Amino acid sequence: MADQRPQAFVEADAHFHQGIAAASQNTALAVVLQSVRALLRVWVDRSVHSPDHACRARDEHTAVLDAITARDPQGAAEAMAAHMATASRRVLSAHAESHEN
């Protein structure tokens, strides 16, 4: 990964999700994403603790983008669901670790 600074990753992650919402032309999705943007940034910031986590999230983003580019809505939905599942596990793991220390 060219830029492994956590804040740069948090910003890139936010732009990726905002871009997906904008491209979808789904006003409800864009409004919800805008409403929770600050929370999402905190979530990503707390869950991405290593270059490995950032690379994994980047690979998940690539899978989503590839499916969208291929005009494969089922593939995009599955890739996004997989991304959200692993992101959720990273957040829960980071939360558990912070309470152990």
Contact between residue 51 and residue 70 where contact means Cβ atoms under 8 Å apart: no
Contact between residue 5 and residue 49 where contact means Cβ atoms under 8 Å apart: no
Mean pLDDT: which of 11-20, 37-46, 88-97 is highest? 11-20
DSSP per-residue codes, 22-47: HHHT-HHHHHHHHHTHHHHHHHHHHH
> Which pTM does this prediction carry?
0.75
Q: What is the pLDDT of residues 20-30, one digit of tens each?
A: 988 889 999 88
**Using alpha carbons only, what angle is made at residue 23 by residues 4 and 21, rounded to the nearest 5 degrees?**
65
